[in-house]
Amino acid sequence: MKLMTYFLILLLGFLIGTTIGEILSLLLPENLTNLPFFAPGILSGFDTLNLNLKVINVNIGIRILSNTFSWLGLLISTTILLVRELAGSK
């Protein structure tokens, strides 16, 4: 259960970082978003798998957008988890 909690916290940190990066790239002026730090994210994942069974149609697929802020969010959430674990707090 503890491992699943850690995984969800790290995933949430990654997703929040991605969201912040995308929002900042929309709100900041264009001369700032041309910097390499605000480079467009990389979309990775699997194509959609369509399974048509006549009675039900199932679509399965996952795509994840990652940018610099995604990794920054992951780093921050990992650091927080590590500090809490080393401090012994629950």
Quote the CA–CA distance of 23 and 41 in Å, as a whole number: 12
Cα distance between residue 85 and residue 44, in whole Å:
31
**Span 5-51, pLDDT tens digits:** 888 988 899 999 988 888 888 888 877 777 777 777 888 888 888 99
Enumerate the domain spans of the chain.
2-87
Neighbouring C-beta atoms of residue 67, cutoff 10 Å = 21
pLDDT band at 75 (very low <50, low <70, confident <90, very high): very high
Do the Cβ atoms of 25 and 31 come closer than 8 Å?
Answer: no
From the number of C-beta atoms within 10 Å of its C-beta (0-12, 13-18, 19+), residue 17 rates as buried
